[in-house]
Structure 1
């Protein structure tokens, strides 16, 4: 047997082995020195808003977003995403063989920007059920009464070209300054209750002769409650697991995420002590319909969804936090003066709105202020 023939055979063997190794690597296999064998690997994809953030895997700078990190041995990894000027994000994730772990990261500003949205004093703001309108009372100024802000293209109408918030009821023979406001389930009407009198206001016009529905208030409330129950039941039917559906349907408090893929709920009714507006409420959980997973949510005075359906806004004593729907990465967004446990988010999740005032001669009255989230 000639040397040339042997060399050819060895060359073919080397090429074959190299090709096999390349194929195994391409399929996500790697050699695990701890186990002394070839094992399958997994992948982590990381996207962030904003992008171009540094990604650390187990403390090692690995890449920048948006990125795909492949050939990872199946195990738990600590992933940290950092960008200057933003609150760091960190989570322990499990990588499984042959699967992709998709991480969608939202980074919030480390230093909040707060700015006024109104200037004539504001009371009792209430967000509509569809999240697209805000009704509030202007108690003083040139046009006191009830006003509505409508959101257009994910912006309040006042920020759209030529748009302004509009008045739907003016103080006069009826003084709305102490009115309790409530939206109808379809977000088209506002109920203003003043003492024993109850007025139904249309949200798109100035109600010069508001309709007093006090004689039919009980029926109106029942109709609205029935409509809300029907909507909630239709959503509950989307839960395939019967046991989980029963658990959700028996919950005392249920708040669906805007995209209706998750629900924030609490099993028990509020106690007498918890009905105090300053009380801290616990026992809230999130059920993810897509993964059928359940998560505990931190205690707070109020827990409401951010419109992106991936985060929950927590209002506590003197501060506002945002936490991911799985209860991780709680970040304090704002700490300072704000009133009435009131905080709601723009429809595009770009900012929060609070009621606040400042101890100066020109800013002592409560007004709406925006807090940037991007």
Structure 2
């Protein structure tokens, strides 16, 4: 039988064991928690610090990954936590050109290296369709179709399905109904393709008159013509309303802007005036307008709340462009004046605010005047197209890149985006693909200059246009995988 002294000793032992067990559990839990959020011991200096999470993707997947001199055990698609710093990454897959990029990672940061589109070492390009000629063509990143205009004087288009089938499906759409009847010289042009690939915005020029056509590919009889407004001014620009694939935002030559409802087939009351250029992202229509005192202002119109906001006012005679994008919780305003670019941000774009407070993120003077600007990759990348150059700014890595295009040209023309990470240029008659920051360039096919190109929905093929020796137009596709 235990004495009181022995019982107290046993009680203290149990309490001590319990306390030690609790402490051990807490310590293990804390260590596990910090490991889960990326804390590691830096082998260089022995300091415990939080690493960054790097997500690694490639198309096609299954590429071996080397970061620095260390090859990862797992192939793409994969992820790894590494210490803060600057690294060189390389992805390798048999039969493909190695993909390389330098990147930096900060403590607690999540980096997405998801722009790796591996290029086969041996490219195979096959003809899938031969046409007498093509005057114009259009597609868009992520599109299911490519639209061809064989003759700019005739209201006939061909719609090509961008699929992986052995036989490519082509649909001919004739805009020859009574509403489309015309007399005299006419010229058609393809302008934009809706995100669901069902509708096209075209222009039709009859002498000095310019009309906008909203073409329904599946039912051409539902196509609509937009002519002059109440001031007898013709439309100069039309873009799709992002809230609906069929409704439009239309800017007329007199600077007035309207919303167009495809179901009601009518324009809204005028929402803006004196507008020289416009851009839309999500539900905000950004614009540049000439103010009465000779200055130029930028602003945004909230399409949902129907409220107008003035962003900035500048005094300049140079061409000005503006674009707005939301990245995470912040709004980023891109403004270009000639060759001067600026990126500013705000966390409050409330229409109730009398004055929006912007903070500068980046300023730079480029080599050439900017001819186009906007956002890519869910608004992470701001881009600036110039004659012979492409510049970009990554809002995540806070890095700027300036790429001189291979083609030596003085022609000002917009760049064709093949997907959210890659653009192309074909000025030399060769379709060269670039990543948004100018890295991993590759020549993919001989093409007709100024025509469209696009990836199939799976990414297996790249469709483009070329010419045969007889001068006929060839629709071709280049195989981008090895299976």
In structure 2, C-alpha distance between the alignment counterparts of 1:160 and 1:245, rounded to whole Å: 42
Kindly indicate whether the alpha-carbon contact (under 8 Å) linking 1:157 and 1:164 is maintained by their aligned counterparts in 2: no
Secondary structure in structure 1 of the residue aligned to 2:150: strand
Report the CA distance shift for 1:255/1:344 in structure 2 as closer, same or farther (over 3 A): farther
Aligned-residue offset at 1:90: 0.8
Distance 2:373 2:389 in 1: 12
CA distance in 2, matches of 1:87, 1:191: 42
Q: CA deviation at 1:349?
A: 7.4
Matched, 1:308 2:419: yes
Instruction: Give the alignment of 1:171-250 within 5 angstroms.
Output: 179=187, 181-183=189-191, 188=200, 190-193=202-205, 203-204=215-216, 219-221=234-236, 223-224=251-252, 226=255, 229-232=277-280, 234-235=285-286, 236-238=323-325, 244-245=334-335, 247=341
1:120 maps to 2:131? yes
Give the structure 1 partner of residue 441 of structure 2. Answer: 330
TM-align CA RMSD: 5.0
What secondary structure sits across from 2:234 in the alignment? helix
Match of 1:103, SS? Answer: strand
Query: Offset of 1:92 from its aligned partner?
Result: 1.3
Gap change, CA 1:188 and 1:324, over 3 Å in 2 = closer
* Aligned 8 A contact 2:463 2:476 in 1: yes
CA contact 1:262–1:286 (8 Å) conserved in 2: yes
Pick from 341, 358, 362: which aligns with 2:450?
341
Residue number among 388, 411, 420 corresponding to 1:282 in the alignment: 388
Find the aligned partners of 1:241 and 1:286 in 2 and give their Cα distance. 17
Following superposition, the deviation at residue 31 of structure 1 comes to 3.8
The residue number in structure 1 matching 2:45 is 35
- Which structure is higher in helix share? 1
Written as runs of structure 1 = structure 2, the 5 A alignment for 1:68-79 is 68-70=79-81, 72-79=82-89
Deviates more, 1:113-122 or 1:252-261: 252-261
Deviation sequence 1:191-239 (CA, Å, 0-9, x none):
34588797876645779xxx9x89x996243745655934458143446
Q: Deviations over 1:7-35 (max 9, x none)?
A: x99xx89x969959964655544444432
For 1:41-70, what per-residue CA distance to the aligned partner results, in whole angstroms no more than 9, with x for missing partners?
333221222111111122432231122223
What are the ranges of 5 or more consecutive residues in structure 1 without an aligned counterpart?
269-280
What whole-Å deviation, never above 9, does each CA across 1:247-299 have from its counterpart, x for those lacking one?
46995433554856544324x7xxxxxxxxxxxx3343234566665432332
Which residue of structure 2 aligns with residue 46 of structure 1? 56
State yes or no: 1:149 paired with 2:158.
Answer: yes
**Distance in 1 separating the partners of 2:51 and 2:377:** 35
Higher strand share: 2
